[in-house]
Chain A
Amino acid sequence: MNKEQNGPLMRAASLGSHYQGAQVNLDRLVRVFGQTRALDGFSISIEPGEFVALLGPSGCGKTTALRVLAGFERLDGGRVFVDGQDLARVNAQSRDMGMVFQSYSLFPNMNALNNVAYGLRMRGQRSQVRKKKAAEVLGLVGLADQATKYPHQMSGGQQQRIALARALAIEPRVLLLDEPLSALDAKVRADLRDQIRSLQQRLSITTVFVTHDQEEALSMADRVCVMSKGRNEQTATPAVLYARPATPFVAEFVGVSSRVPVETDSNQVVVFGQTCPVRGVDAFGVMDSVDALLRPEDIAIEVDAAGKGFVTHRSFLGATTRLVVQVGEIPVRVDVRSETAADIELGTHVSVNVISRDVLVAPRLRAKVSVSA
């Protein structure tokens, strides 16, 4: 690591002592917009210094939950606690929460330094003190040389880093990130993602990150909360969420799965003629009519002229290539090493085998599914 890269990290280490992660408890939150229950009894507990991602499809209530925590939305039910303090009567400006927004939210009339110093100014800090601190935090995000630039003179990535610095400058109890990477291009997004995670770990600041991008959530967060219809479907580490989803929704939303109708046999199912134990059968309860949810890596294929499946689509993903194999009426996604996939033409007949120890099951869908790789 060179000196330039080391600078911000060392500064973070020296600043880290100022920050204190807070414990956050959202208790049975309810928020209703007209006929829609954006939050429907949503609860989550976040430990001090933890990085939690709220993940879910559009309209699942994740941004509403974040805005409730920030104090921008009133509650129709439930309570918000930070370090045991009920925030019901605490307005947004008094909550000590730094927030980075999806859209570029820098004040256009202020340069980078004054944007970062704004929160300190609102706290009545003297000019010299706040400028010194703002410059220090700008250094933390690697933009000390951009202090005199105005927002319109900076790129989107730089603006979001300044916004992050502005949120960190007030030493917030909780850092709130509302899809801060969604407006950025892929390369900048990946860089900023790493920078946010690195800073969060060094400052040990409690962070709530809203995203609909599961790759972002799984790669950045200590724990991921999957939300659906205003509820907490499951909160777990990325590895547990992927391997042991608590509900069919989580199983399908996180990662890629193919639904394959199967026959049940006690706690086992028969998939492509193979008998496999059911994973997490207790959580799903007893179901007569189920589908197996197979990850692309749960399946292996072999070129076989007499095989029941044939390849219909292929997508190059780098080290692996994702193939879609049509088995009867069922499309199944399979990941194959790219050098192996190079020899498999579209239309090639293959045999399909389940290679995982056990399989996930979910209530059967009536609708016919078609997929592309």
Chain B
Amino acid sequence: MASLIPEVAYEEMLGGVPEVQGEPQRPRRPRLRLWRGIVLLLAGVYFLIPLYAGLRFSFQNDAGQFSLYAVKAIPSQTGFSAAFFLSLRLAAVTTVLTIVLMVPTATYVHLKLPKLRRVLDFVTILPIVIPPIVLILGVLHAAPLWLRSSPYLLSLVYVILALPFVYRSLDAGLSAIDLKTLVEASRSLGGKWISTLWHVILPNLRAATLSATVLTIALVLGEFTMASLDLWTTLPVWIYQFSQLDAHIATAVSMLSLLGTWVLLTVIISVDRSQSRRTRRRTEAL
């Protein structure tokens, strides 16, 4: 019956009810569905309760009554704008660096050094294994002075932190296309390596690159330890520091920062989709 699986999945995608002839349908197992529901509910509660608590606390004053004072006061708080824009700049620089570094690297490994994929798999997981404090102290000790005095040292470190997510995303994207044939087709038509990367590989890695971008931005906007130890006041550091002055405002900022991250990611995905549609319309109009 294994051959039926794709057909059933296809029917389900179309919203139809799969019909399997010649074999009685299995009775649904209510106990299993109940357990699935319970697990889903528990996971939802685990995820939503802190959000609810944070939102509720953000909209309260010191007396515990509903108030918008914390949200209204955010823009005027000392250091907020600087921290916010520093985090945005770091996110942008880190994303560009990561994509510029990792797309050619992952492509080259897939094409020329496929045996190294396992090694790279292992190497890129190291940033998760090594504690951030070890990483940043090592970097601060080794980095030249001019770089230590720049906030963009953090971007270099964030590139390393983002490696596990970015590499896996790109690796999956590259595995999903016939990379070797596409590259050889491009080269036989006169495409140089840069042209091939830009016109052929990147457009076909759109989903993987977008996923890598989203993960990198989310990571940078939420990273605290390294920024704190490098003595740069990014948004998470500012939230932590300000929570000692006014916990309501700090919590409101963290909630807005979460919301902002989601909005940013939604905007990126929407822009990408509309760009894709525009490109398609443009080529269809030729």
Give a binary string over A158-182; 1 marks a CB under 8 Å from any B CB, 0 the rest. 0000010011001000001000000
**In the assembly, what is the distance between CA of A111 and CA of B206, in Å?**
16
Q: Is the CB of B286 within 8 A of A114?
A: yes
B222 at the interface (CB under 8 A from A): no
Looking at B187, B192, B204, the one whose CB has the most chain A CB atoms below 10 A away is B187
Kindly identify, within residues 159 to 193 of chain B, every residue whose CB is under 8 Å from any CB belonging to chain A: 177-178, 181-182, 184-192
Q: Is the CB of A92 within 8 A of B284?
A: no
User: Separation in Å of the B279 CB from the closest CB of chain A?
Assistant: 8
Do A94 and B188 form a contact, CB below 8 Å, given A113-B286, A114-B283, A147-B286? no
**In the assembly, what is the distance between CA of A105 and CA of B284, in Å?**
20
Kindly identify, within residues 112 to 132 of chain A, every residue whose CB is under 8 Å from any CB belonging to chain B: 113-114, 118-119, 121-123, 131
Kindly identify, within residues 61 to 117 of chain A, every residue whose CB is under 8 Å from any CB belonging to chain B: 70-72, 91-99, 101, 103-111, 113-114
Q: Is the CB of B200 within 8 A of A107?
A: yes
On chain B, the residues within 8 Å of A93 by CB distance are: 187-192
On chain A, the residues within 8 Å of B195 by CB distance are: 122
Interface residues of A, CB < 8 Å — how many?
Answer: 38
Q: Which residue of B lies closest to A98 (CB)?
A: B188
B203 at the interface (CB under 8 A from A): yes
On chain A, the residues within 8 Å of B273 by CB distance are: none
**Inter-chain contact total with CB atoms closer than 8 Å:** 85
**In the assembly, what is the distance between CA of A122 and CA of B181, in Å?**
17
A148 at the interface (CB under 8 A from B): yes
Interface residues of B, CB < 8 Å — how many?
Answer: 23
Give a binary string over B247-286; 1 marks a CB under 8 Å from any A CB, 0 the rest. 0000000000000000000000000000000001001101
Do A118 and B184 form a contact, CB below 8 Å, given A108-B177, A109-B203, A113-B286? no
Q: Is the CB of B191 within 8 A of A122?
A: yes
User: Separation in Å of the B278 CB from the closest CB of chain A?
Assistant: 13
Do A99 and B283 form a contact, CB below 8 Å, given A107-B204, A108-B177, A170-B189? no
Q: Is the CB of A103 within 8 A of B181?
A: yes
Kindly identify, within residues 198 to 248 of chain B, every residue whose CB is under 8 Å from any CB belonging to chain A: 199-200, 203-204, 206
Q: Which of B178, B181, B184, B283 contacts A92 (CB 8 A)?
A: B184
Q: Which of A96, A122, A148 contacts B286 (CB 8 A)?
A: A148
Q: Is the CB of B177 within 8 A of A123?
A: no
Q: Which residue of A lies closest to B196 (CB)?
A: A93
Do A111 and B190 form a contact, CB below 8 Å, given A72-B184, A99-B184? no
- A92-B187, A122-B189 known; 8 new pairs, CB 8 Å cut-off, are A70-B184, A72-B187, A101-B185, A103-B181, A107-B203, A110-B283, A121-B199, A166-B185
21 contacts between A and B (CB under 8 A): A72-B184, A93-B190, A98-B189, A99-B184, A101-B181, A105-B181, A105-B185, A106-B185, A107-B182, A107-B199, A109-B200, A109-B204, A111-B283, A111-B284, A118-B186, A122-B186, A122-B190, A131-B286, A150-B280, A170-B189, A170-B190
Which A-B residue pairs are the 3 nearest by beta carbons? A119-B189, A122-B190, A109-B203
